[in-house]
Amino acid sequence: MEARRSVAAAAATVMALLVLFPEALRAERFVVGDAARWTWGYNYTDWVIKKGPFFLNDSLVFMYDPPNATVHAHSVYMMRNAADYQSCNLKAAKLVANTTQGATSGYEFVFKKRKTHYFVCGERGGIHCTMGQMKFIVKPKPSVCRDD
């Protein structure tokens, strides 16, 4: 009797939480590039199409090894606008994660704003962005509108 009542109470609590905080149960973490991780030559635009849409509070994990004699450096920058993104012009870009922050468990970026996010790798003066395809755009959706 007691056990049944507490199960019912727990279920009611879960229902109440679902109504109040539907987003709490669905924030997801995505490793950028999956097994390829954050690297030269992978098509991240294609990855975004396959994995998206993304929602507020979802997070992206950028994973890349720190540079050494054989491993090339990578990094994560956010471009200020579409024009800079298109041309891979890093002049006004904001550093998100430096060349060592993608190590071990990676660098986690959580979507907190509904703005368009222009992610690029900033290495080799933009060559990783232009030639290496290390660039992608995400505009997270508000999670309450999951099916819009």
Ligand X SMILES: *[C@@H]1O[C@H](CO)[C@@H](O)[C@H](O)[C@H]1NC(C)=O
Count the site residues for ligand X by CB under 6 A: 19
Binding string to Cu ion for residues 105 to 134, with x set by CB under 5 A, is what?
A: ----------------x-x----x-----x
d(CA 134, CA 127): 9
Which helix (H) or strand (E) segment holds residue 56: the answer is none
CB of 123 to Cu ion, least distance (A): 4
108 belongs to the binding site for ligand X (CB under 6 A):
no
- Contacts with 92 (C-beta within 8 Å, 6 or more apart), sequence order: 79, 80, 84
Asked whether position 105 contacts ligand X by CB under 6 A, the answer is no
**Contact 82/93 with Cβ under 8 angstroms?**
no
Task: Determine, following the binding rule CB under 6 A, whether residue 3 of this chain makes contact with ligand X.
Answer: no
Calpha distance 44→49 (Å, rounded): 9
Site for ligand X in 33-52 (CB under 6 A): 43, 45-46, 49
Q: CA–CA separation, 77 vs 109, rounded Å?
A: 11
Footprint of Cu ion on this chain (CB under 5 A)? 74, 121, 123, 128, 134
Q: Which residues bind ligand X (CB under 6 A)?
A: 23, 43, 45-46, 49, 56-57, 65, 68-71, 98-101, 133, 142-143
